[in-house]
């Protein structure tokens, strides 16, 4: 069995000092490829540098909606340059976060649209962070219509109805360990209806370890196996068959060989 952690933050402080061991443990738990996701220009650079050190490690570059207020035209120019590195497989994470509102919503919308413009220009997939902003996120994506085709809603936190809307647009849905939590019934209902060729897995580590490892403060890619087993069981499937399908979906989405 091989799984791909499609969204982790290996450059964040809790993991950065120990990446070699973290990836060893990950491989031992069948999670054999990774996409480390940048959240600002500096993290993007660290992510790209890290990909030079390990096989099967790729990067995504973006500015998190939390930091939208600091983004200038120059930032976007630099981001576009970073995105052209060979090891970069996606733009993101980008989107809207109306839960924390760390940046003004007008800034968040502007920066999200700027990311989508780069996504279209470079013909890359895009990783969406969306919290309490579902309708507006879909509206902005709609404005880019056919120019932005490969879209994944990362750490999906919506309902089955919202999942249907995402799927109807041809987009993908990615689940973190949060889906394993006891209070995550809505997300579990959503996971049940997502077809395997549109479903991806991620840890979003160092955050949010899945059950039954929730007490482990620093999440890491090795723990994604628990999430895989959990969703396979939700769908009444054997985990090997499940893993094969979602890994194939992830490779197609991110153009991995
Ligand atoms: Zn993330």
What pLDDT, in 10s, does the model give residues 51-78?
999 999 999 999 999 999 999 999 999 9
- Domain residues for the domain of 61 are 3-254
- The CA 167 to ligand 1 mean position distance, Å, reads 21
Looking at residue 145, its pLDDT comes to 87
> Which three-class secondary structure state does DSSP give residue 222?
helix
Looking at residue 230, its pLDDT comes to 98
Q: What's the structural domain count of the chain?
A: 1
Q: Report how far Cα 57 is from the mean position of its chain's Cα atoms.
A: 14
- The CA 74 to ligand 1 mean position distance, Å, reads 23
What pLDDT, in 10s, does the model give residues 94-136?
999 999 999 999 999 999 999 999 999 999 999 999 999 999 9
Q: Report how far Cα 148 is from the mean position of its chain's Cα atoms.
A: 16
What pLDDT, in 10s, does the model give residues 195-253?
999 999 999 999 999 999 999 999 999 999 999 999 999 999 999 999 999 999 999 99
pTM (2 d.p.): 0.97
Distance CA 101, CA 99 (A): 6
Backbone angles phi and psi of 97, in degrees to 5: -125, 95
Q: For the domain that residue 209 is a member of, what is the CATH number?
A: 3.20.20.140
> Which three-class secondary structure state does DSSP give residue 117?
helix
> Which three-class secondary structure state does DSSP give residue 12?
coil
Distance CA 86, CA 58 (A): 9
- The CA 14 to ligand 1 mean position distance, Å, reads 14
User: Taking the CB of residue 247, how many other CB atoms lie within 10 A of it?
Assistant: 22
Structure token pair of residue 98: 């109306």
């Amino acid at each position: 069995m091989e799984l791909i952690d499609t969204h982790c933050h290996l450059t964040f402080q809790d993991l950065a000092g120990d990446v070699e061991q973290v990836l060893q443990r990950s491989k031992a738990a069948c999670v054999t490829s990774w996409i480390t996701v940048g959240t600002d220009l500096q993290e993007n650079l660290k992510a790209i540098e890290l990909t030079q050190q390990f096989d099967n490690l790729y990067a995504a570059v973006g500015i998190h909606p939390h930091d939208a207020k600091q983004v200038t035209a120059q930032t976007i120019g630099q981001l576009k340059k970073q995105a052209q590195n060979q090891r970069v497989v996606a733009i993101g994470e980008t989107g809207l976060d109306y839960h924390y509102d760390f940046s003004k919503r007008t800034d968040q919308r502007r920066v999200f649209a700027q990311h989508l413009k780069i996504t279209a220009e470079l013909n890359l997939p895009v990783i969406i962070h969306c919290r309490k902003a579902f309708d507006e996120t879909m509206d902005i994506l709609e404005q880019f219509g056919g120019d932005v085709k490969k879209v994944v809603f990362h750490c999906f936190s919506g309902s089955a109805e919202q999942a249907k809307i995402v799927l109807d647009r041809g987009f993908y849905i990615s689940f973190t360990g949060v889906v394993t939590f006891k209070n995550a019934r809505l997300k579990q209902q959503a996971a049940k209806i997502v077809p395997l060729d549109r479903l991806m897995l991620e840890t979003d580590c160092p955050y949010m370890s899945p059950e039954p490892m929730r007490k482990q403060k620093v999440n890491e890619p090795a723990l994604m196996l628990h999430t895989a087993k959990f969703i396979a069981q939700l769908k009444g499937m054997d985990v090997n068959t499940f893993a094969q399908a979602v890994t194939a979906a992830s490779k197609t989405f991110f153009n991995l060989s």
